A = this chain, B = another copy of it.
């Protein structure tokens, strides 16, 4: 599979945007034309999942229906409308010796994607890789095996009709876990591994892969309410960050409040969130949260917990220094925000917080490819190499240096 993918990547690297878009358009069409087969296969997955005792929440994530399938086809058509980054040049310059030098965007080559649950990832990631001229090797979760088989068939049909090699998109069918380990060692053929799933999957990939892995999605999200903040507006933003979609990795975990405004701000917040949110408070915040319906004292580890729920950690701090200190110790690496009207505090916060996305007076919920105008989101990286934060199409490319001259030798 590695060899076939590398060979296909060689063809894809020089495929025109028109040809790649044709394949994408055919995938969208085939999805609609084969809806019945796909939904049948998905029924089988759901039944098996129910027998295996999967939770209703998980089953819902696995479920495909007419409207979800239409949405997936719509997403593919959206990818067609995005700019193809391949071939564009950056940092062009002419050197003293007359050489014209630029970096030209090229596909990465072969991307390995290991994911769990949702079958839409199969189409989604295959489409994004195809658009950027990358061959992909996919490995989905066993819970959606039958759905994925149908989806891969759709992709293969579309590739054939678009006159592109079948190996542009391959799927590891056998359930054997050993195959994943083997994929992670194919550094001769595979250029990047994207794990899409829980922390365990990311850890496994990082520890076993000889191929660069995009690690992402984890980290405690903080908001620091500075003494200069507009408190009423800050309540709005904190509410949004905590409650708009608590299960998202960019939703708020820990609220840090400047001691000078805690007595005013926290009661306002409790008033707003009391029906939804359960507070976990440091000792020094307890008194200001007295009106909370659900209130617990923070235990060891609570400020290192990604809640992914309606729970909110709260702590009062002496000022921005203590806030930064807390965040450094408690894994601020994803999305963090300061509420402030003070320019120096804002810049200080931006520069000192080691997170992929830092906000001034905005909700942490904005960390998202679509919100950032990237058009698509391949993954959210919390590592520092290659790409950080939401990854769009450009982040599925590398570059090569292109030097043109008039028979030039180095002196």
Q: Of the candidates B206, B233, B244, B402, which one forms a contact with A410 in the assembled complex, judged by CB atoms under 8 Å apart?
A: B244
Neighbouring B residues of A401 by C-beta, 8 Å: 356-358, 367, 372, 388-390
Q: Is A300 part of the contact surface with B, judged by Cβ < 8 Å?
A: no
Neighbouring B residues of A95 by C-beta, 8 Å: 371-373
Neighbouring B residues of A355 by C-beta, 8 Å: 400
Neighbouring B residues of A363 by C-beta, 8 Å: 408-410
Asked, given contacts A409-B236, A410-B371, whether A402 binds B358 with beta carbons under 8 Å apart, the answer is yes
Q: Is A174 part of the contact surface with B, judged by Cβ < 8 Å?
A: no
User: Is the pair A400, B356 in contact by a Cβ cutoff of 8 Å?
Assistant: yes
Q: Is A328 part of the contact surface with B, judged by Cβ < 8 Å?
A: yes
User: Is the pair A210, B207 in contact by a Cβ cutoff of 8 Å?
Assistant: yes
User: Is the pair B356, A404 in contact by a Cβ cutoff of 8 Å?
Assistant: no
Q: Is A351 part of the contact surface with B, judged by Cβ < 8 Å?
A: yes
Q: Of the candidates B233, B400, B409, which one forms a contact with A244 in the assembled complex, judged by CB atoms under 8 Å apart?
A: B409
Q: Using a CB-CB cutoff of 8 Å, which residues 79-111 of chain A contact chain B? A: 87, 93, 95, 99, 101, 104, 106, 108-109
Neighbouring B residues of A22 by C-beta, 8 Å: none
User: Is the pair B359, A403 in contact by a Cβ cutoff of 8 Å?
Assistant: yes
Minimum C-beta distance from A97 to chain B (A): 8
User: Is the pair A388, B399 in contact by a Cβ cutoff of 8 Å?
Assistant: yes
Q: How far is the CA of A155 from the CA of B259 in the complex (A)?
A: 41
Q: Of the candidates B104, B191, B372, which one forms a contact with A101 in the assembled complex, judged by CB atoms under 8 Å apart?
A: B372
Stretch at the interface among A27-35, A36-44, A112-120, A378-386: A378-386
Minimum C-beta distance from A258 to chain B (A): 16
Q: How far is the CA of A202 from the CA of B369 in the complex (A)?
A: 34
Q: How far is the CA of A104 from the CA of B360 in the complex (A)?
A: 14
Which residue of chain B is the closest to A383 with respect to CB atoms?
A: B212
Which residue of chain B is the closest to A408 with respect to CB atoms?
A: B362
Which residue of chain B is the closest to A395 with respect to CB atoms?
A: B385
Q: How many copies does the complex hold?
A: 2
Q: Is A263 part of the contact surface with B, judged by Cβ < 8 Å?
A: no
Which residue of chain B is the closest to A364 with respect to CB atoms?
A: B410
Neighbouring B residues of A192 by C-beta, 8 Å: 384-385
User: Is the pair B410, A365 in contact by a Cβ cutoff of 8 Å?
Assistant: yes
Q: Of the candidates B207, B237, B372, which one forms a contact with A409 in the assembled complex, judged by CB atoms under 8 Å apart?
A: B237
Minimum C-beta distance from A204 to chain B (A): 11
Q: How far is the CA of A239 from the CA of B401 in the complex (A)?
A: 22
Q: Using a CB-CB cutoff of 8 Å, which residues 324-338 of chain A contact chain B? A: 328
User: Is the pair B404, A346 in contact by a Cβ cutoff of 8 Å?
Assistant: yes
User: Given A108-B385, A359-B402, A388-B400, 5 more contacts at CB 8 Å?
Assistant: A212-B385, A346-B404, A357-B403, A361-B407, A362-B407
17 contacting pairs across A/B (C-beta < 8 A): A10-B328, A14-B351, A212-B212, A236-B407, A244-B409, A355-B400, A356-B400, A357-B403, A358-B402, A358-B403, A359-B403, A359-B404, A362-B409, A363-B408, A363-B410, A366-B403, A366-B410
Interface set of A (CB-CB < 8 Å, partner B): 10, 13-14, 87, 93, 95, 99, 101, 104, 106, 108-109, 187, 191-192, 206-207, 210, 212, 230, 233-234, 236-237, 239-241, 244, 328, 339, 346, 350-363, 365-367, 371-373, 383-386, 388-390, 398-410
